[in-house]
Amino acid sequence: MEKRIPLATPTMHTEELEFVHEAFRRNWIAPLGFNCDGFEEELCTYLGEPLHGLALCSGTAGLHLAVKIAGVKPGDVVLCSDMTFAATVNPVSYEGGVQVFVDAEPESWNMDPAALERAFQKYPQARVVVLAHLYGTPAKMDQILEVCRRHGAVLIEDAAEALSSTYHGRQCGTFGKLNVFSFNGNKIVTTSGGGMLLTREAEDRALAYKLATQSREPAPWYQHEQIGYNYRMSNVVAGIGRGQLRHLEEHRRRKEQIYRRYAEGLKDLPVKMNPYLPDTRPNFWLSALTIDQGCPVGPMELMDLLEKNNVEARPIWKPMHMQPVFAGHDFITAGGTPVDEEIFRRGLCLPSDIKMTESEQAYVIGLIRSAF
């Protein structure tokens, strides 16, 4: 195929430009402003929970502020999702904490509550858990929250990939004391780059705001009594986010259609689509598959075949405990073979761009079928 079929790219509409033009018309280009305020309010309204939003320059910035507000100090053990992108867990290192990685379970590819319980048994001093919803698929939140409650731990919910996903009717990104979304270019809605921190308590949002604006004190001169950061979102890109929010449910529906077409088109092959739990609604941000054990075709061979035909696919996130930068960090499983190592070895992310036509997706499905 001449035209490249990408993994996931931004899908823009007309409302984004209207908000951006308003920022230019009013010459409100710098960080903060009416678009930031509107974006925060509109996202909290969409989530349907009494949360306090803070628009930031990235989801990673939000996770850093969350780790800091949760009280992580040098040497503190933090229990983290293992099957995720590095941005989920890197902020623990920013504050000198020590990541202990928790294996996934096979029903959703997310943190295993049984493994989390074992991690608390080994590290009873742990007081913070960082959980990610992989590829927009909700984790077993009832069980995770119960484990955290029993051990008096703060939950930081990394919902970077999970905006519009629901667990038992409740939006992801509302379960933790501190919650984070990403609006990177490949996410279900984008601001070109950016993120948002959502807090339960108004005072946590106030502290995050202060830290994100260089910790400036309310004095007539520039006074700083603690180290701060330049983490606020631009009023211009917040306008993009406001326009994108108008199309969030449309984007989610189109992502689900892509997933369903893959599931139907590949159902008789020795592969399985990324799973999700009953009574959950993933946003299907990325469709992925695993190849059955014993199959002579591997995910890298399949990825190479797709690439040769101008189709972008990517490996599943490599588990954090397998990353060289975290060599020596503990890894806790529920027992037996690590689940996320198997997912990584046999998994592949498929093109999930909502601008992909049905005929283009049929072409991708045909290539995958030809490999088997």
- Condensed to tens digits (0 to 9), the pLDDT of residues 286-330 reads 999 999 999 999 999 999 999 999 999 999 999 999 999 999 999
Both 175 and 282 in a single domain?
no
State how many domains the chain has: 2
**Whole-number pLDDT of residue 8:** 97
Residues 220 and 330 grouped into a single domain: no
Q: Is the pLDDT of residue 1 over 90?
A: no
- What mean pLDDT is predicted for residues 348-364? 98
pLDDT score recorded for residue 306: 98
Assess contact for 137 and 352: CB atoms under 8 A.
no
Instruction: Quick: pLDDT tens for 219-267.
Output: 999 999 999 999 999 999 999 999 999 999 999 999 999 999 999 999 9
Residue 1 included in any domain: no
- For the cut 80, the answer to whether the pLDDT of residue 277 exceeds it is yes
Closest listed residue to residue 252, CA positions, set 342, 188, 202:
188
The pLDDT tens digits of the residues spanning 11-68 come to 999 999 999 999 999 999 988 899 999 999 999 999 999 999 999 999 999 999 999 9
Would you state the pLDDT for residue 357? 98
The structure's pTM equals 0.97
* CATH number of residue 25's parent domain: 3.40.640.10
Residue 5 resides in a domain = no
Residue 121 has pLDDT above 90, yes or no: yes
pLDDT of residue 126: 98
| Dihedral angle of Cα 145, 167, 312, 6, to the nearest 10 degrees | -130
- State which residues form the domain around 204: 15-245
* Residue 9 pLDDT level (bands cut at 50, 70, 90): very high
User: Do 339 and 233 fall into the same domain?
Assistant: no
Residue 294 within a domain: yes
pLDDT at position 2, please? 82
Is there a single domain that holds both residue 230 and residue 353?
no
Residues 213 and 331 in one domain: no
Report yes or no: 354 and 258 within 8 Å, Cβ to Cβ.
yes
CB-based contact 229:61 (threshold 8 Å):
yes
The domain boundary residue, chosen from 228, 245, 262: 245
pLDDT in tens, 127-165: 999 999 999 999 999 999 999 999 999 999 999 999 999
Are both 21 and 97 inside the same structural domain?
yes
Over the chain, what is the mean pLDDT? 97
Confidence of residue 173 (pLDDT cuts 50, 70, 90): very high
Largest separation between any pair of C-alpha atoms in the chain: 70
* 60 and 173 fall within a common domain: yes
